[in-house]
Structure 1
Amino acid sequence: MPIRHSIIHQIDKKPDGTPAVLHVSSIELVESQATENLINDLNVAYNAKARKGWGFFHPQSGAFPLSGWLQAYLNSGGFIEFSTTAVEHLTKLMEESNLSVGGHVLLAHYQQGINDYLVVALLQHSESVTVNADLSVTPSKHLDFGNINLAARINISEWRSNPKSRQYISYLKGLKGRKATDYFRDFIGCQEGVDGPGETRTLLKAFSDFVAAEDWHEDSAREKTHALVSYSLAQAKIGEPITLDDLSELIDEDRPKAFYDFSRSKDYGLSAEIPADKRTLNQFRRFTGRTDGLSISFEAHMLGSKVEFNKAAGTLMLRGLPPKLTDQLKRASV
């Protein structure tokens, strides 16, 4: 993972309301194993976060200036100047929001695969203890990657090559509500473009319909479901989208375009690339079974809510039946 430029600034802001103090670095991080580990650990922690938004830049303006500064840096160079201007703007927005404490601001421009990325993250420290060479112990601090709440990643390559894309920026959605993170999204200048959970649910609905239409044997359906979920979670782990072409080929190697063509013909409105939402994927497993005159299929997350299994009796209790099925049963019972 070649790192083109990286730097850390510090915003000293206490929760007591005192004015924030910005400490600007005048030098970039040196190329080293430590720097590479830092960016890699940040990426791993960022990709592991389930709550993400996906979007694209607002038109460059006084309210949303970052895209203009980034474009100027990419055109003419000057990463330190770009990062300094950006972190000064972030400090101003943080001061105005009065909803955030400070921390170390990491900006890194790196290459992963064929794409260039810019990641911006506000990092906090955590207290720890280290054992010295003489076996004594002393307190120490380390960056707490597990507690990242404010971070965004811009796919520079997609932004520049496909300006109509609506998902070249990803950002973390905080657990404390939108107000606590809106100022950071405003700093990035990002507007929401793609509903990751919604897109993932639509993809899973299209896949379920495809499985039903193909009428596969239970074992085959389970195997292909496992392939879909495994691939999608693997993409989420590395921060890459689900690609319909690749997924279609994975589902049916003998007919690599079958699922792709099915999803297009039924007009689900799916993009060619879909941001993988881990929470939605983890909820998705299908239990299926077929016997004489009876076919049952439901998603695993319904077990225990709309579907209850009595292990001793070997029976299922269903709640929330589809209205059409309910009407048929009522007419049949007259």
Structure 2
Amino acid sequence: MPVLHSIIHKIDKKPDGTPAILHFGNAELIGSQARDDLMSQFNESYNAKTSKAWGFFHAESGAFPLSGWLSKYLAGPDDFMTFSNNAVEHLTRLMEESNLSVGGNALFCHYQQGLTEYLTIALLQETEAVTMTEELHLMTVKRLDLDHIRLAARINVSEWQNNPQSRQYISYLKGKQGRRLNEYFRDFIGAQEGLDGPGETRTLLKAFSDFVESEDLGEDAAREKTGTLVSYALSQAKLGEPITLDELSEVLDDDQPLAFAEFVQGKDYGLSASIPPDRKTLNKFRRFTGRAEGLSISFEQHLLGSRIEFDEAGGTLTLRGLPTQLTEQLKRAAA
């Protein structure tokens, strides 16, 4: 993960209402193992966050100037220092206007992963840690708290430049720290929500369930494909990358790599070609299976409580929305 440019500025903001004090970084962070470890640990922590939104830039304006400064930096008139200075000044002004007592260390990092360029912006807090000196004495030191990131965003610069119609080249955290805090940082980035990650993931899983049903797969084959889907989607979430329908289709079936993609495209699901994976939704997508005395039952966990109800006391399942093929067989048998 080559780091192209990076810098940290510090914003001192006390809870007593006194004005924030901005300390500009004197220079970009020099290339070092510490800097590379910082970004590696940051990305790992950021990717693990489950509460994210995905969106795109508002049109550049006085209220949302970041995209304009970023364009000038990428095009060459401004350097990275100028861009980050303008941005952190704007961040500090918004912090004051919002009357929020949340300062911190403002990290700006432009890096490359594979062929894709990203810009990360985050407000990191400090925490204390205990270390041991060479003389075996304990010492308390301050460190950047990468375990509890609350305000951060990542811009897929390559996607933004090459596909300006995209509505998901920005991801940003939507934590539980409060609506005003979330909105202030989102407005600083100039982002608007473009895709509903949990909703898109649920729709994808619904499409997959319909696909499995249409293929009339056996229990083992259905369970295997479900595991493949979940494994692929969670690995993409861990990498901070979207699920792409074409790639997922290939992963699901080597012999018919277009089968699932063509099934989705032929139905009115309204899915995007790439989908931001939602971990919480994916973790609920498991398959229950059982076989006994000529009875075989298999269904996805997310159907429990909607199309399928379980009566624990009576030991019964109530099914709604039976597959058409099964319904027709039952009608013929009853005739």
TM-score normalised per structure 1: 0.91
The residue that corresponds to 1:51 in the other structure is 51
- Could you say if the C-alpha distance between residues 205 and 301 of structure 1 is closer, same or farther in structure 2, counting changes exceeding 3 Å? closer
- 2: CA distance between counterparts of 1:104 and 1:272? 36
Secondary structure at 1:145 match in 2: coil
Residues 6 and 107, structure 2, Cα contact 8 Å, conserved in 1: yes
Counterpart code for 1:36 = D
Counterpart code for 1:51 = S
Residues 153 and 173, structure 2, Cα contact 8 Å, conserved in 1: yes
Which ranges of structure 2 fall in alignment gaps of 5 or more residues?
Answer: 328-335
TM alignment of 1:1-334, pairs within 5 A: 1-76=1-76, 77-289=78-290, 296-300=297-301, 307-308=309-310, 316-318=315-317, 322=320
Deviations 1:67-122 (A, max 9, x none): 00000011114100110000000001111112341000000000011111000000
Deviations 1:225-262 (A, max 9, x none): 00000000000001100011111011111111000000
Runs of 4+ in 1 over 3 A off after TM superposition: 288-298, 301-310, 315-319, 321-325
- Could you say if the C-alpha distance between residues 100 and 262 of structure 1 is closer, same or farther in structure 2, counting changes exceeding 3 Å? farther
Counterpart code for 1:322 = R
Residues 303 and 309, structure 1, Cα contact 8 Å, conserved in 2: no
Question: Displacement of 1:178 after TM fit?
Answer: 2.1
Q: How many residues are treated as equivalent by the alignment? A: 322
Deviations 1:50-83 (A, max 9, x none): 0000000000000000000000011114100110
- 1: CA distance between counterparts of 2:129 and 2:286? 40
Counterpart code for 1:177 = G
- 2: CA distance between counterparts of 1:239 and 1:14? 33
Question: Displacement of 1:179 after TM fit?
Answer: 1.6
- 1: CA distance between counterparts of 2:214 and 2:106? 51
- Could you say if the C-alpha distance between residues 37 and 78 of structure 1 is closer, same or farther in structure 2, counting changes exceeding 3 Å? same
Identity of counterpart residues, as a percentage?
Answer: 64
Stretch deviating more after TM superposition (289-298 or 180-189): 289-298
Deviations 1:119-160 (A, max 9, x none): 000001111111111111111111111110100000000000
Question: Displacement of 1:295 after TM fit?
Answer: 5.5
Secondary structure at 2:289 match in 1: strand
- Could you say if the C-alpha distance between residues 309 and 44 of structure 1 is closer, same or farther in structure 2, counting changes exceeding 3 Å? farther
- 2: CA distance between counterparts of 1:20 and 1:31? 30
The residue that corresponds to 1:332 in the other structure is none
- Could you say if the C-alpha distance between residues 295 and 269 of structure 1 is closer, same or farther in structure 2, counting changes exceeding 3 Å? farther
The residue that corresponds to 1:331 in the other structure is none
Question: Displacement of 1:16 after TM fit?
Answer: 2.3
Question: Displacement of 1:284 after TM fit?
Answer: 0.6
Residues 15 and 101, structure 2, Cα contact 8 Å, conserved in 1: yes
- 1: CA distance between counterparts of 2:186 and 2:134? 44
Secondary structure at 1:104 match in 2: strand
- 2: CA distance between counterparts of 1:317 and 1:14? 60
Secondary structure at 2:73 match in 1: helix
Which ranges of structure 1 fall in alignment gaps of 5 or more residues?
Answer: 329-334
Secondary structure at 2:147 match in 1: helix
Residues 128 and 140, structure 2, Cα contact 8 Å, conserved in 1: yes
TM-score normalised per structure 2: 0.90
Question: Displacement of 1:25 after TM fit?
Answer: 1.0
- 2: CA distance between counterparts of 1:289 and 1:160? 50
Counterpart code for 1:270 = L
- Could you say if the C-alpha distance between residues 241 and 323 of structure 1 is closer, same or farther in structure 2, counting changes exceeding 3 Å? closer
- 1: CA distance between counterparts of 2:210 and 2:295? 18
- 1: CA distance between counterparts of 2:219 and 2:137? 60
Stretch deviating more after TM superposition (168-177 or 54-63): 168-177
Deviations 1:257-289 (A, max 9, x none): 000000111121111111111111111112134
Residues 151 and 182, structure 2, Cα contact 8 Å, conserved in 1: yes
The residue that corresponds to 2:330 in the other structure is none
Residues 150 and 177, structure 2, Cα contact 8 Å, conserved in 1: no
Residues 129 and 142, structure 2, Cα contact 8 Å, conserved in 1: yes
Counterpart code for 2:28 = E
Question: Displacement of 1:303 after TM fit?
Answer: 6.3
- 1: CA distance between counterparts of 2:311 and 2:6? 54
